[in-house]
Amino acid sequence: MSEPILDIQGLTKIYPGGLKALDDVDLQIRQGEIFALLGPNGAGKTTLIGAVCGLVRPTSGTIRAFGHDMASDWRHARGRIGLVPQELATDMFEPVYRAVAYSRELFGLAPDKARIEEILRSLNLWDKKDERIMALSGGMKRRLLIAKAMAHEPDLLFLDEPTAGVDVELRKGMWQLIGAMRERGVTVILTTHYIEEAEEMADRVGIISRGRILKVDDKASLMRQLGRTEAHIALANPLSALPPAIASFPVELEQGGTSLCYRGGDGTGKGKAEVAQLIKALVDESIDFTGIDTRESSLEEIFVSLLGEKEVAA
């Protein structure tokens, strides 16, 4: 594997007052990936992003970005990093175009009208370019945050809960946008409470809770290790015992013998194939059924089982 674009080792942050928001975090981010940092409220996601972006001073540990140590050589790397914060901290009277152009200039880049126009158009904000920020809708303000973070053409983009509190339509739009950034070669790290978002977007997922990274893995591999298929087959006539041809499957009779429940597979599709075989076996045995309900376990169940407690934010 080539050198990671971001290499975090032993990162700990203890806030004044003694709260340990990050506890010995190791994390390596690969060039070009979309990495989702998934965790409940207060897990330390924003603190982690803040530490990389120079907003939070680590208590201990090292952060290297693009091969530069962020403690001693911050300037080199900071210009290549973009941050989309959770909330706008900007002059609400400022017009949209000016706000984005200013974000670029802050990083010492020459003004580039064509580039700013391209960014605003890609975010559907071009026709709002002369509006004051205060006149934008919530969704537009979110897109403006992204425009501001893109203005200096970062190679590594942090999105801190990009879709928290936005409606389904807009969330899908955001996902498309993030996908488009990846196509341009931008490495994206996003934090989210939404398992669905990690499932939809990410190449890899890191699960964080109480300042500790519990697991980092390819999304597909997470599903393979922990995913399961569950199928409930409603039987036309109750069975008192499993016929031998059926008993070889990982099945149980439930609800007084009226429901045959399959639990198996490993998240690779093996479960679905086995359910198909089970159905054929039922037909061969002339066991009639009236309905089949199949589902794959979601990242949500994996998440909950890893946390081992019900602290997952809604």
The residue length of the chain stands at 314
Cβ atoms of 62 and 229 closer than 8 Å: no
- Find the shortest distance in angstroms from Cβ 15 to ligand ATP: 3
Of 44 and 267, the one with the shorter C-beta distance to ligand ATP is 44
- Find the shortest distance in angstroms from Cβ 307 to ligand ATP: 13
**Residue in this structure with the two tokens 């802050």, named with its chain if needed:** 106
Of 19 and 106, the one with the shorter C-beta distance to ligand ATP is 19
- Find the shortest distance in angstroms from Cβ 195 to ligand ATP: 13
Terminal Cα-to-Cα distance of the chain (whole angstroms) = 36
Of 15 and 283, the one with the shorter C-beta distance to ligand ATP is 15
- Find the shortest distance in angstroms from Cβ 272 to ligand ATP: 34
Please give the C-alpha separations between residue 228 and each of 84, 259, 260, 275, 281, in angstroms, as whole numbers: 35, 19, 16, 12, 21
Of 86 and 294, the one with the shorter C-beta distance to ligand ATP is 86
- Find the shortest distance in angstroms from Cβ 289 to ligand ATP: 44
Cβ neighbour number for residue 266 with a 10 Å cutoff: 14
Of 45 and 64, the one with the shorter C-beta distance to ligand ATP is 45
Residues that bind ligand ATP (CB under 6 A): 15, 17, 19, 21, 39, 41-47
Q: Which residues contact 158 (CB under 8 A, 6 or more apart)?
A: 49, 52, 53, 81, 82, 83, 84, 149, 189, 190, 191
The closest of 56, 126, 45, 123 to 86, measured between CA atoms, is: 45
- Find the shortest distance in angstroms from Cβ 149 to ligand ATP: 17
Maximum CA extent, the chain: 78
Of 190 and 278, the one with the shorter C-beta distance to ligand ATP is 190
Half-sphere exposure of 156 (CA within 13 A, CB side): 23
